[in-house]
């Protein structure tokens, strides 16, 4: 049986799941939390709720509907995506191959405000370890972030780099380093990045200057653009390039809802989910 894996359980991901499961596609939805709906008190402009509805209630209703129809719902954090014999979604604790994959992870993450971060993007500052680790072979690199995603990126880098330090920017690490790990953890804040042509060093809040060749941003939870880059789908800034069916530049890989930009509203997320699922169903039937 053909299968679909959806990252995200907001309006986009759940709508795609509803269409796919009802067309007989085995569907798994992996989500970390309520996404944007978790921050929404009252929704006044979505069809069918004259009395308004809260974001968390709409989220729970969507999840219950997908479950009732037969979708497998997994609560876990996705930290990567890779090509094996099929495209495979990697979570903190498992891996999920899919014939079609949907990114429905909501609006892009915001990079931390560190002096020099923006201007050194592509010249020492990277957002994708799998894509760029090669350029930092036998060099000193750092990852910023304090969660599972940061650890995942650091582990990718530790295969080829001379040294890897995770800077948690004052936050407590939400991961445990495996025994024998060579990765270092530093909880100090980074004040600024130094370098003209490319990154040369990072300056910490106590004045220490640490020479550095590469800095990888992995703050919070990985977003769709991070995943897209890892498998080679085209990205413009934080926006994933999609066609009129929300398909990325890779066949069978879709980006739906807030993560592909445009109108950041529930109605548009639902529309994307339905449209992409219908396209994926045809694709799976013909493949
Ligand atoms: C405060 C606020 C008020 C709003 N009010 C309205 C309103 O009144 N009307 C309206 O139409 N819209 C409103 N919106 C916008 C609306 O909530 C979003 O447009 C909509 O939720 C987008 O749906 P989505 O499915 O694309 O993403 P989201 O609803 O954000 O869902 C993203 C999903 O992806 C998951 N995810 C992300 N990264 C990972 C990962 N690495 N691993 C696993 N899971 C992951 C999240 O856990 C979540 O389940 C509001 C938004 C906010 C923030």
Q: In the chain, where are the structural domains located?
A: 3-109+222-286, 125-217
Ramachandran angles phi, psi of 112, nearest 5°: -65, 155
Ligand 1 atom closest to the Cα of residue 46 is 11
Q: What confidence category does residue 245 fall into, taking pLDDT thresholds of 50, 70 and 90?
A: very high
The answer to whether residues 152 and 95 touch, using CB atoms and an 8 Å cutoff, is no
Query: Minimal CA–CA distance to 204: which of 237, 165, 231?
Result: 165
55 three-class SS? helix
Q: What is the dihedral of CA 142, 145, 146, 148, to 10 degrees?
A: -90
pLDDT band at 110 (very low <50, low <70, confident <90, very high): low
Give residue 258 CA to ligand 1 midpoint distance, Å.
Answer: 7
Q: Which CATH class is domain 125-217?
A: alpha beta
Distance 58 CA to ligand 1 centre (A): 11
3-109+222-286 and 125-217, same CATH topology: yes
Select from 69, 70, 71, 37 the least CA-distant residue to 56. 37
* Percent of the chain scoring above 90 in pLDDT: 76
Give CA 220 to chain center in angstroms: 9
Q: Which of 148, 227, 266 should be mutated for ligand 1, with most atoms under 8 A from CB?
A: 266
Q: How many angstroms is it from 10 CA to the middle of ligand 1? A: 6
User: What is the mean pLDDT of the segment spanning 265-279?
Assistant: 97
Which pTM value belongs to this model? 0.84
pLDDT for 109: 64
Query: What crossing angle do the helices spanning 266-286 and 11-22 adopt, rounded to 10°?
Result: 30
Mean pLDDT of the chain: 93
Ligand 1: which of 40, 59, 149 to mutate, most ligand atoms within 8 Å of CB?
Answer: 40
- Find out whether 104 and 176 touch, Cβ atoms under 8 Å: no
Residues 60-88: tens digit of each pLDDT: 999 999 999 999 999 999 999 988 889 99
pLDDT at residue 237 is higher than 80: no
Mean predicted confidence (pLDDT) in 85-111: 90
Read off the pLDDT of residues 186-206 as tens digits, 9 standing for 90 and up.
Answer: 999 999 999 999 999 999 999
**Architecture of domain 3-109+222-286 in this structure:** 3-Layer(bba) Sandwich (3.50)
pLDDT in tens, 132-161: 899 999 999 999 999 988 999 999 999 999
Q: Specify whether the CB–CB gap between 220 and 79 falls below 8 A.
A: no
Band of residue 220 on the pLDDT scale cut at 50, 70, 90: confident
Measured distance CA(123)–CA(136) in Å, rounded: 11
The Cα 187–Cα 161 span in angstroms is: 21
């Amino acid at each position: 049986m053909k299968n679909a894996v959806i990252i995200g359980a907001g309006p986009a991901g759940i709508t795609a799941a509803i269409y796919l499961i009802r067309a007989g596609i085995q569907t798994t939805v992996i989500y970390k939390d309520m996404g944007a709906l978790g921050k929404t008190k009252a929704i006044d402009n979505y069809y069918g709720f004259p009395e308004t509805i809260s974001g968390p209630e709409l989220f729970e209703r969507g999840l219950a509907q997908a479950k009732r129809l037969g979708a497998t719902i997994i609560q876990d954090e996705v930290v990567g995506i890779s090509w094996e014999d099929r495209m495979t979604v990697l979570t903190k604790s498992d891996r999920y191959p899919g014939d079609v994959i949907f990114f429905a992870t909501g609006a892009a993450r915001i990079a931390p405000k560190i002096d020099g971060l923006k201007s050194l993007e592509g010249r020492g500052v990277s957002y994708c370890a799998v894509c760029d680790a090669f350029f930092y072979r036998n060099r000193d690199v750092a990852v910023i972030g304090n969660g599972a995603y940061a650890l995942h990126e650091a582990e990718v880098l530790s295969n080829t780099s001379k040294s890897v330090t995770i800077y948690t920017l004052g936050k407590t690490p939400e991961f445990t380093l495996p025994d024998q790990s060579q990765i270092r953890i530093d909880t100090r804040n980074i004040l600024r990045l130094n370098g003209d042509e490319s990154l040369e060093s990072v300056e910490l809040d106590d004045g220490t200057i640490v020479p550095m060749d590469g800095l990888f941003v992995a703050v919070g939870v990985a977003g769709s653009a991070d995943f897209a880059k890892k498998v080679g789908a085209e990205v413009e800034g934080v926006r994933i390039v999609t066609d009129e069916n929300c398909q990325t530049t890779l066949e069978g890989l879709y980006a739906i809802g807030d993560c592909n930009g445009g109108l950041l509203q529930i109605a548009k997320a639902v529309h994307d989910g339905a449209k992409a699922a219908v396209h994926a169903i045809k694709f799976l039937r013909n493949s």
